[in-house]
């Protein structure tokens, strides 16, 4: 009998030995025999937990578990690669590398205003020293197959922060458009008596 009020569908749930679960729904309205059923298998949680991580690892090894895209892209990649500038030779006495590549990322060590042959600070004016500094960085970028337009971040060290504006003039020559992220830090001294040093992170 219809009393004019909507009736919520009646639901009946049947369990089959703790393994199968059947759901049946009646419309609840007279004259409608509509019924919907669904059969699902209940997971055995205890059995799953007993499998533990080893079971998941085994499944992944067998190729039955889909790995995230990031994991797939990094799988099989080689470890770090030391980058040497042109005419630079490996040395057992070296305390740092000019550049390190890992995947498609390139980490370039801080470069001062030193001549790559004499290893002495080039003569001023200051902007000429900044230019030498950036050219030294470019040597590493070139050796790794990268370029200034692929630099992501630079860190600039200045022994005289009042020359920040002069540094920017030359810096803009190397990064004329879409310059990389940057930090500028004032320091008291730099190794090798260079008035400026720049390091960067780029991609290949």
Whether residue 41 is contained in a domain is answered as yes
Whether residue 138 is contained in a domain is answered as yes
Together in a domain, 174 and 91: yes
Together in a domain, 120 and 175: yes
Together in a domain, 117 and 189: yes
Q: Name the token pair of 18.
A: 């703790």
Whether residue 148 is contained in a domain is answered as yes
Does the structure show a pLDDT above 60 at 16?
no
The total domain count for the chain is 2
Lowest mean pLDDT among 22-26, 92-96, 137-141, 177-181: 22-26
For the beta carbon of residue 68, count every other beta carbon within 10 angstroms. 8
Whether residue 1 is contained in a domain is answered as no
pLDDT digits (tens, 9 = 90+) for 64-99: 444 344 433 333 457 889 988 767 777 788 889 999
Which carries the bigger pLDDT value, residue 25 or residue 194? 194
Q: Can you give the residue range of the structural domain that contains 111? A: 81-203
- Look at residue 88 in the predicted model and tell me its pLDDT: 73
If pLDDT is split at 50, 70 and 90, which confidence band does 37 have?
very low
Together in a domain, 138 and 181: yes
Together in a domain, 133 and 181: yes
- Look at residue 169 in the predicted model and tell me its pLDDT: 98
Percent pLDDT > 70 in the chain is 61
Does the structure show a pLDDT above 80 at 188?
yes
Together in a domain, 85 and 16: no
Whether residue 185 is contained in a domain is answered as yes
Domain final residue pick, 28, 43, 66: 66
Does the structure show a pLDDT above 90 at 12?
no
Together in a domain, 95 and 178: yes
Task: Work out the mean pLDDT of the chain and round it to a whole number.
Answer: 76
Whether residue 160 is contained in a domain is answered as yes
Together in a domain, 24 and 113: no
Does the structure show a pLDDT above 50 at 151?
yes
Whether residue 74 is contained in a domain is answered as no
Q: Name the token pair of 135.
A: 């050219």
CATH code, domain with 197:
3.30.1330.40
Average pLDDT over residues 127-143: 97
Together in a domain, 158 and 192: yes
Lowest mean pLDDT among 26-40, 109-123, 154-168, 175-189: 26-40
């Amino acid at each position: 009998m219809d009393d004019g009020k909507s009736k919520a569908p009646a639901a009946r749930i049947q369990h089959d030995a703790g393994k199968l679960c059947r759901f049946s729904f009646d419309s609840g309205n007279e004259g409608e025999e509509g019924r919907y059923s669904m059969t699902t298998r209940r997971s055995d949680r205890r059995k799953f937990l007993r499998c533990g991580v080893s079971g998941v690892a085994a499944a992944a090894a067998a190729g039955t578990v889909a790995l995230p895209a990031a994991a797939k892209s990094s799988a099989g990649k080689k470890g770090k690669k030391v980058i040497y500038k042109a005419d630079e030779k490996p040395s057992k006495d070296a305390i740092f590398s000019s550049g390190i590549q890992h995947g498609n990322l390139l980490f370039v060590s801080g470069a001062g205003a030193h001549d790559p042959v004499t290893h002495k600070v080039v003569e001023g004016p200051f902007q000429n020293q900044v230019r030498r500094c950036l050219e030294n960085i470019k040597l590493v970028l070139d050796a790794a197959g990268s370029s200034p337009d692929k630099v992501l971040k630079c860190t600039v060290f200045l022994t005289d922060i009042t020359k920040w504006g002069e540094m920017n003039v030359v810096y803009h020559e190397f990064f004329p458009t879409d310059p990389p992220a940057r930090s500028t830090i004032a320091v008291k001294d730099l190794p090798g008596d260079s008035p400026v040093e720049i390091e960067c992170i780029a991609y290949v």
